[in-house]
A and B are shown apart, each in its own frame.
Chain A
Amino acid sequence: EAGVVQSPRYKIIEKKQPVAFWCNPISGHNTLYWYLQNLGQGPELLIRYENEEAVDDSQLPKDRFSAERLKGVDSTLKIQPAELGDSAVYLCASSLARGPGELFFGEGSRLTVL
């Protein structure tokens, strides 16, 4: 079974440029998450989707970040414009159902803003 797939793995951009990250969750997983992981820190939730509905986006900086999950499968996270402080790893995860289940993570997309 394929795991969570993210792309690109690495992205280097200049500040004020836009960037987008893509995530394909495990087939059949209706819950999808985007986490932010700064260097040397634990992941922090940005947004959680149940199917195509964003059910928790309280930590998403909405002035520059946006996300979508069309048709309840793939998801895209966008930053426009990027700032130096956005340099981090953006993790996507998926899970099968609500409750204390296991989250499956992708390898992450490492963003460097110059």
Chain B
Amino acid sequence: GNSVTQMEGPVTLSEEAFLTINCTYTATGYPSLFWYVQYPGEGLQLLLKATKADDKGSNKGFEATYRKETTSFHLEKGSVQVSDSAVYFCALNNAGNMLTFGGGTRLMVKP
């Protein structure tokens, strides 16, 4: 079956630090990969996506590259801000329009 594994949090960084949140997946075929973000008190919203191998998704300074050889989709940002504090979810779509989520990683950025 499909599964997504992401690093456990919380991840605590100082402002302007480099961020990496690891995500690996198990799936048959060629899934699409996503990062969703959940800010405090808000619903999940799409941050970025990649639909095929070697694609790079990017948004708001965040990037993730679809690596089929390592079945990974790690999220990176060069310089985090306090406003990036949130819970980040890696997800895959391998059947129709159904998402399978990882457990989420809480990011806390201190000024």
A-to-B contact residues, CB < 8 Å: 3-4, 31, 33, 40-45, 48, 55-56, 91, 93, 95, 97-108
Q: Are A56 and B98 in contact (CB under 8 A)?
A: yes
**Known contacts A91-B44, A106-B43; is A101 also within 8 Å of B104 by CB?**
no
Interface size in chain B (residues, C-beta < 8 A): 23
Prevailing SS type, chain A contact patch: loop
Assembled-state Cα–Cα distance A102/B50 (Å) = 11
When distances are taken between beta carbons in the complex, the residues of chain B under 8 Å from A33 are 98
When distances are taken between beta carbons in the complex, the residues of chain B under 8 Å from A106 are 43
Question: Does B49 interact with chain A (Cβ within 8 Å)?
Answer: yes
Which of A41, A91, A98 lies in contact with B96, CB distance below 8 A?
A: A98
Q: Mark B83-111, 1 if CB is under 8 A from A, else 0.
A: 00000010101001111111110000000
Q: Are A42 and B97 in contact (CB under 8 A)?
A: no
